[in-house]
Every structure is written in C-alpha cells, then in structure tokens.
Structure 1
Amino acid sequence: MLQVTIGFSTLLFSLGLDQAYVREFHEVIDKSSLLKGALFPGLILLVTALTTLLVFGGTLASWLFEIPEWHLSLLASTALLAAFISRFLSLVLRMNEQGLAYSMSQLLPKLLLLAVIGTYVVIGAKKSLTNLVIANTSALVFVCIVFAYNTRRELLASVTASLDIEHLKHMLRFGLPLILGGIAFWGLTAIDKIFLRTLASFEELGLYSVAVSFAAAATILQSVFSTIWAPTVYKWASKGEGLENVHKVIRYILALVVIGFCLAGLLSWVITFFLPPKYDAVQWIVVSCLGFPLLYTLSETTVVGIGISRRSSFGMVAAILSFAINLFGNWLLIPHFGAAGAAVSTCISFWVFFVLRTEFSIYLWKSLPRLLLYAFTLACVSGAAMFTLWGKPLSSLMAAYWILLLCAAVYTFMSEIRNAAAYVFEKCKARKVICRL
C-alpha cells in the first residue's frame, strides 16, 4: 500500500509539471526558473496535504495499514515527500545527460533497502510493520539526498531564481491533462491485481505476482530507453534536426520487442527449474506479462508526435480508453482463467494503448510506416494470449508458432541485427585495445 500510494501521490501532486519540464528543457534558456516552476507548486501542495494529515495523528497510517499510529504516519509522509522531490531531481540529471549519476541513484536505494533488511535478519530484529516501513523510508530518503547532492548547483539556483508565472501557466496547460491520463495509466498497471484479489484468490494473485516479477527483467529495457529517448528526441525537435532517425529507432525497438516475445515463448520452461512445482503455471503466464514493458517501450518511440505538438490530452485519451478495456477484460477473463486471464487482459490493453498512441501521434505530427508495427505486434500479442490461456495442451503447436515468428523477424530485420552486432563488436574491440594500453 505504501508503494501504491507513493506512485499515486507523485503522479497527482506533480501536476504534470515533471513532463512539462522534460518537454520545455531544451526550449528555454533559464533552466533554474524552469526547475522552480516545475517543482515548487506540487511540493507546496504535497507539504500542505501531509501536514494536514499529520495534525490528525495516525489517519494516514490508518488509511494505508489499518494501524492508526502517528509514527507510521510520519514515516509514510517522509517517504512520500522524499519520493516526490527525487522524481524532479532525477529529471535534472536525466536532461543534463548525466547518465552514470542517474543510474547510480536508481541502484543505490535498492542496495540500501537490501542492506537494511539484511541487517534486520543478522541482528534478529523484530519482523514488524514499523521496521519494514523504516527500511523503505530510509532508502527513499537516501536517494533523495544523493539526488540533492548531485544537483546541488541547479537546486540552489532554482531557490533564488525568479518564477515566470506566464510560463508556469503554459506548463500547466501542457501538464494538467497528463494527470488524468497518468491516473488512468496507473490504473492500467494496477487494476489487474485489484481484480485478482476481488474475483479470484490469494493463490492466483501469488502466481501472477511471481510471473510479473520475472517479466520485470524487461523493464530494464523500458527504463533505460525511456531515460535516454525523451531528452534526445526533444533535443532534436528543438534544433529541427535528427527527426528522420525516429523511423530507424522504431525498427530497432520493434525487432527487439518481437525477438523478446519469441525467446520468452520458446524458453519460458526454464523458469520451472527455479520455482516450486505449484508455480509451474508461471511459465505460461510470464509471456503475456511481457506485454506491459515491451509494448510500452515501443509506444515511446511512436508517441513522439504528441510530445512535440504539446497536445498531451491525446495521451490522456489513449490511457483512459486502454484502462477501460483492461477493466472489461479483467472482469471477463479472471473468473474463468484467474492469473492467466489478468495477464492476457493487460497484454491486450497495452497493445491497444500502443496503437492509440501511435495513431494520435501520426494525426498530430506526421505519418509513420506502421504495417510492420501492427502486424508483428499483433502476432506477438495473439501468440502470447494463446500461449498463456492454452499453452499447456498446445505446447508443440505454440513452439512451432514462436519459431516461425522468430524466423520472420530475423529475415525482416536482418539489416538492423547486423548493424547492432557490428556496433557491439566494435565496442568490445575498442575496449580490448584500451585495456591493453
């Protein structure tokens, strides 16, 4: 519940200004004023809301944990505040292309969380909710401090910078429609768990959670690509050059997505070696769980027209419609298929999300070649749905399906595969030369 609340509060109180900051970064000269305009309105609202809740004692902790303790409310408030500030400071590193500092700031809190919990185990600390919340809050505060140190010049400059009210209104016009769309996207990624808890059982929720955890490996691709892609494409747009590379990037990511689905379908049986027998069904569910990270990553390449045109309301519509489809899909499939139904519904919903973002981008910006996009992704989603729902009785047929699709992808994207292989080979060769020197 704490993690869900952190995600929701950061989304709500940011007022969409985090996305506006990314969009406007290469368009304005005074970066300090831009940061102040993006960070401070939401920060003031969040501090006001948290202070009001703390006045009422353990109300926040009661909402989150059904334990009305003031110290838990204080810890939760600290975690929410640290996560919110970290969100904006991470964008400073991201937009200034400080990739190493950004990556380390993402890794360190996870290592710290493991270290704190490991310390609990070693010293035999009480397995209590308070200790667990302390561990999570400590990790979030630590990453906030790291971000603040790495962006200290920009942060201090923003405090003394003047606030351009007219530009802030311009940013809010871009960012506010993103709140509703963001909430819909949050629901799109969370509603499956809520429906499983309501319409199925804890066993099905456990199966689904394990499958999602394995599929989360693909979120590395999503996180890395999203971190690099948005600043790059907006930089191209600000200079009016490089946009022809969008088509090339789309083909590379499409090839990666299709090959990822195919390899997952062919090799998912390997998962059974790492899990108890009661989790055997995870090998079928995990392929559909890849729909979220892979299709979302692909949609990031095709959605650039919405950002460039500043028509963020279209992104909101795409998220809302996809969320509605996921609601219906979960309601229809979970009672019959359990965790498998939730995975298929979410996978299909993200394909619709990808198509809508692509079509809206084309409408607002310029045409993109999309026959291969839709054909290959539809084949992947259809195969994933069949594999998840009926993969066990159709195992041989599904193996043939994935092999044929993989061969088609290799044939279609042979040029991209060769270029990627040559690039990796050159990088490895250069690294060896450097090591010898």
Structure 2
Amino acid sequence: MKELLKKFMEFALGNGIVLIIGLISSPLITRIILPAEYGKASMFITATSLIIVIMTLGRDQAYIRYYNDEKEYNRGKLLRKSIKLPLILNLILGLILIILYKPISNMIIQEVSFTIVLLMLVHSTFSIISNFALLNIRMKQKGKIYSIFTILNKVSYLIFIVLIFTIFKNSYMTIVLATIISNVVMCGVALVYDRREWFDSKKGEELNTKTKELFKYGTPFVFSMSIIWIFQSIDKISLRMFSGYEEIGLYGGAMSIIALLNIVQGTFTTFWTPVAYEKYAKEPENTDFFIEINEIVTVIMLLISIIIIALKDIIIMFIGSEYAGAEFIFPFLVLMPIMYTISETTVMGINFSKNTKSHIYVAIISAISNVIGNLILVPKYGAKGAAISTGLAYILFFIARTYYSNKYYKVKYKLKKFWVCIIAVYILAAYSSAYKFNSIILYLTIGSLAIVLIMYRSIIINSIKKIRK
C-alpha cells in the first residue's frame, strides 16, 4: 500500500498544480469570453471529440490490454502498430470534412468557415498522437513525467489564451486556437521524450500481439465510445437544438467548475488503470485489494462533491456576472465525476475478462436514458434540465458498469452504504439547484458529511493509520 500511495502521489502532484492553474484559467476565460462564444467553442470541441473517438478505433484500449503481454523492448513496436491505422483513417476523414466544409462548419458554429474545419483536422490528429503518448507514459507508471506533461499542457494553454486574446478578443477562436496549440506543444515534447519508442525502426522480435487481436479487442470500443460520446454530448446538442449558444455557454461555465473536479477524476484514472492490470496479472484472486481501493475512492469523491455543492454560490462568483445562473446548473453535474471515478474501481472485470462488448451495453443504457432525459427536460428547463438528466444518467452508467463487471469478475463491493450516501448527496444537489445557500442547505451539507463519515468510518481510520506508517 505504501508503494501504491507513492505512485498515486506522483500522478497527483501534476494534477494538483493543474488544479491550481485551473482555478486561475477558468475565471479568466469566463470573464473574457462571452457565453455565446464559449458555446461555439464547446461545440467545436464536442464535434472534434467524436472524430477522435471513432478514428482511434479502440486501439488505445487494446494497447493498454496487451501492453504487459509484450517484453519491454518490444512495447514501442506495439505502440507504433496501435496508432498507425487511426492516423491514416483520421487523415482520410479530414479530407472528406474539408470537401464538405460548408455544411459541417455551419452545423457547428452557424457560419461557413473553411478554417474551422481545417482546425478540426489538426486538432484531431495531434489529439490522437498525444493520447497515445501520454498513455505510453502512464503504462510505464512514470507519474512524475506524466505530471510534467499535464502541467506543460495547462500552462501553455493559459499563456496562449492571453496571447491569442490580443488578436481575436472575446471570439470563440481564442479558446479553439489555445486548445490546439497547447496540445501541439505537449505532443511535440512527449514525442521527443519517448523518441526511441516512437521512431526506432529496428525489427526486433515479432510481437506476441497480432493485428487481429488488436482489432478484435479494440473494435467494440468504437461502438461503446461512440455511444458514450452521445451520452456525454447530448446535453450540449439538445441545448443547441432547443436553446442556443447562450445556454450552451452558461452550461459550459458550470462545466468549467466541474472540470476542476474532473482533475481529481483524471488523477485517479491515470494512476489506477496500469496498477489494476498489474495487480490482476500478479494476484487475480485478491479481490480485497479492489474493495479497499473502491471504498477509499468513494469516500474522497463523496466528501469533495458535498463541499463543492455547498460552496456553489462562492465558487460561481469567480467565473463572472455574465454566467449568473450557472450556480443552479452545476450541483447535478457533480454526479458526473463522482459516478465515473467510482465506477473505474468497479468496471475492471469487463476489461480483465476481455468481454469488451459489455461496454457497448453500458453505453447504450446510459445514452438512451440521457437522450430521453434531455428531450424531456431541456425544452422546459434549459441548461438546468440538461444537468439533471446528465446527473441521473451517470448513476445508471455506474450501475451498468458494476453489474456487467461482476458477471465476469466477482468482487463483493459494499454497495448498500454507498447508495445511502449517494441518496444524501442527490437530495443536497436537488435542493441546491433551486435555491441559493441557506440554512436548509447548511443542514443538508452537515447531514451528508456525517452520513459519509459514519458509513465509511472503518476505511477512513485504517487509511489514516497506513498513511501515518
């Protein structure tokens, strides 16, 4: 456990600094970019993320799965083999998008722009490369190096926001260009750092992993991740259909707050994936390890979410008066990183057993529930309706992930107390979505904290003892 904590802290260090930078950049961006322009930038990023999901072909997940099946000197070869086809297909799709730039750009930003479609191609290309580059570092469990790259990305993003603002002012292009350029910078540095694995063309030994295996394992992820994209993007699409860029901008302002909590989510997920695979490979019968990690993560995420919901009126002051109303949007959005992060500890049975088709079922359940919820709630409640629907859909996402995982790898997670705590957090979020901070929210906050601390008192005490040692 001591070694595990050390590895986690290495990954957490960078994300801790990224969190601090995020506390600076989020208020800065929302104060210089109008909600409608922020909405257009959000639609650009949403559209590009779909391209990345489809073109990656699940090869990133296949690379993770077969990484430990290859000898260390052969893993660079596996990396190059995994990324080759996604880059080729991305280029082909990019050329098609450029030919159809008029309807594509009009659909995304409601104006004809060849530039925005070209930027989509550039962004998707470098995003695919940087995703694999960071994945390679994660799998080697080089937490300090990973932290440096995440810090570099966030710092360069903040710098380019300021520089580009002098040219494009409060236009959506400020966010779009800063996002792309900061990604290019990080990508370039990562390729130089791991240049042997990326560019060493020596033949070496034949890979144990065949192309057929990469295709078979990765392909289901194309469908599941595409459906997950629908699940995660239908809120913005619904707002685009029924409300407009102004509401998307307000929703994006609320999401910028949740993004800070996503940093905690990202820290754990980045650290956890290689550790979980390594632990399973060495001790597949040791399910107590997964139960303990699940409880620790649950406590941390629940406590953080309760505090953030309680402080919503103070937090919202930092993103500016233009985004007034976002404090009633983000309480339900807090359920996104909570349920996703905790589900990362309960979903591993699907991946261990290679039953990746189950990810499709999880995605379908989550996506359908979110589509229905958004179609019902967004026309009436706008961004708040989107938040309510998304929060509820993530609860179903957790349930589905845990159910299918336990079908293939039995772990006796202590879920009864978890659901008691989630109900308490849900009640707090529901009331906080309707009212500013008052005595009732204070009582609900204290009650929720008490429930979590009482329910998980044993794991909290044991964790404190281990940290002291």
Asked whether the two chains share a fold, i.e. TM above 0.5, the reply is yes
Once the two structures are TM-superposed, the CA of residue 276 in structure 1 deviates from its matched residue by 5.1
Contact 2:287–2:411 (CA under 8 A) maintained in structure 1? no
Note if 1:234 corresponds to 2:292.
Answer: no
Task: Note closer, same or farther for the CA distance 1:338–1:73 as it changes in structure 2 (3 Å cut).
Answer: closer
Moved more, 330-339 or 340-349: 330-339
Separation in 2, partners of 1:134, 1:341: 31
Contact 2:343–2:402 (CA under 8 A) maintained in structure 1? yes
Corresponding residue to 2:183 among 120, 136, 140: 140
Q: Give 1:197's aligned residue.
A: 240
Q: Give 1:169's aligned residue.
A: 212
Structure 1 residue identity aligned to 2:282: K
Once the two structures are TM-superposed, the CA of residue 317 in structure 1 deviates from its matched residue by 0.9
Once the two structures are TM-superposed, the CA of residue 39 in structure 1 deviates from its matched residue by 1.1
Contact 1:59–1:68 (CA under 8 A) maintained in structure 2? no
Task: Note closer, same or farther for the CA distance 1:41–1:159 as it changes in structure 2 (3 Å cut).
Answer: farther
Structure 2 residue identity aligned to 1:6: T
Contact 2:217–2:356 (CA under 8 A) maintained in structure 1? yes
Once the two structures are TM-superposed, the CA of residue 22 in structure 1 deviates from its matched residue by 0.8
Corresponding residue to 1:207 among 221, 240, 250: 250
Note if 1:248 corresponds to 2:296.
Answer: no
Once the two structures are TM-superposed, the CA of residue 55 in structure 1 deviates from its matched residue by 7.0
After superposition, where does 1:265-344 map in structure 2 within 5 Å? 265-274=309-318, 279-344=323-388
Separation in 2, partners of 1:32, 1:211: 40
Structure 2 residue identity aligned to 1:90: L
Task: Note closer, same or farther for the CA distance 1:61–1:347 as it changes in structure 2 (3 Å cut).
Answer: closer
After superposition, where does 1:255-266 map in structure 2 within 5 Å? 255-266=299-310
Contact 1:265–1:399 (CA under 8 A) maintained in structure 2? no
Separation in 2, partners of 1:22, 1:344: 33
Unaligned runs of 5+ in 1: 427-437
Structure 2 residue identity aligned to 1:113: Y
Once the two structures are TM-superposed, the CA of residue 36 in structure 1 deviates from its matched residue by 2.7
Q: SS of the residue aligned with 1:67?
A: coil
Moved more, 202-211 or 348-357: 202-211
Structure 1 residue identity aligned to 2:268: F
Q: Give 2:426's aligned residue.
A: 381
Contact 2:66–2:209 (CA under 8 A) maintained in structure 1? no
Moved more, 253-262 or 416-425: 416-425
Separation in 1, partners of 2:108, 2:373: 28
Q: C-alpha offsets along residues 360-406 of structure 1, whole Å, 9 cap, x if unaligned?
A: 11111103232223332243234423432x445x9543432332221
Q: Give 1:28's aligned residue.
A: 70
Structure 1 residue identity aligned to 2:461: R
Once the two structures are TM-superposed, the CA of residue 344 in structure 1 deviates from its matched residue by 1.1
Note if 1:11 corresponds to 2:11.
Answer: no
Once the two structures are TM-superposed, the CA of residue 419 in structure 1 deviates from its matched residue by 4.2
Separation in 1, partners of 2:63, 2:420: 35
Q: C-alpha offsets along residues 137-160 of structure 1, whole Å, 9 cap, x if unaligned?
A: 322221111110121121123674
Separation in 2, partners of 1:351, 1:111: 33
Task: Note closer, same or farther for the CA distance 1:80–1:279 as it changes in structure 2 (3 Å cut).
Answer: closer
Task: Note closer, same or farther for the CA distance 1:82–1:400 as it changes in structure 2 (3 Å cut).
Answer: same
Moved more, 211-220 or 346-355: 211-220
Structure 1 residue identity aligned to 2:272: W
Contact 1:86–1:143 (CA under 8 A) maintained in structure 2? yes
TM-score normalised per structure 2: 0.81
- Specify which structure has the bigger relative contact order, considering alpha-carbon pairs within 8 angstroms and separated by 6 or more residues: 2
Look at both structures and tell me which one has the larger radius of gyration over its CA atoms: 1
Q: Give 1:224's aligned residue.
A: 267
Structure 2 residue identity aligned to 1:3: I
Q: SS of the residue aligned with 2:69?
A: coil
Contact 2:220–2:360 (CA under 8 A) maintained in structure 1? yes
Task: Note closer, same or farther for the CA distance 1:268–1:126 as it changes in structure 2 (3 Å cut).
Answer: closer
Q: Give 1:39's aligned residue.
A: 83
Q: Give 2:32's aligned residue.
A: none
Task: Note closer, same or farther for the CA distance 1:26–1:272 as it changes in structure 2 (3 Å cut).
Answer: closer
Contact 1:347–1:381 (CA under 8 A) maintained in structure 2? no
Separation in 2, partners of 1:60, 1:203: 21
Once the two structures are TM-superposed, the CA of residue 132 in structure 1 deviates from its matched residue by 6.2
Corresponding residue to 1:67 among 112, 115, 133: 112
Task: Note closer, same or farther for the CA distance 1:163–1:99 as it changes in structure 2 (3 Å cut).
Answer: same
RMSD over aligned CA atoms reads 2.9
Moved more, 127-136 or 33-42: 127-136
Contact 2:157–2:179 (CA under 8 A) maintained in structure 1? yes
Note if 1:371 corresponds to 2:391.
Answer: no
Note if 1:414 corresponds to 2:448.
Answer: no
Once the two structures are TM-superposed, the CA of residue 279 in structure 1 deviates from its matched residue by 4.6
Q: C-alpha offsets along residues 132-181 of structure 1, whole Å, 9 cap, x if unaligned?
A: 65544322221111110121121123674677597221122111111111
Structure 2 residue identity aligned to 1:260: I
Separation in 2, partners of 1:311, 1:418: 36
Once the two structures are TM-superposed, the CA of residue 293 in structure 1 deviates from its matched residue by 1.1
Contact 1:32–1:158 (CA under 8 A) maintained in structure 2? no
Q: Give 1:430's aligned residue.
A: none
Q: Give 2:123's aligned residue.
A: 79
Once the two structures are TM-superposed, the CA of residue 90 in structure 1 deviates from its matched residue by 1.2
Task: Note closer, same or farther for the CA distance 1:337–1:113 as it changes in structure 2 (3 Å cut).
Answer: same
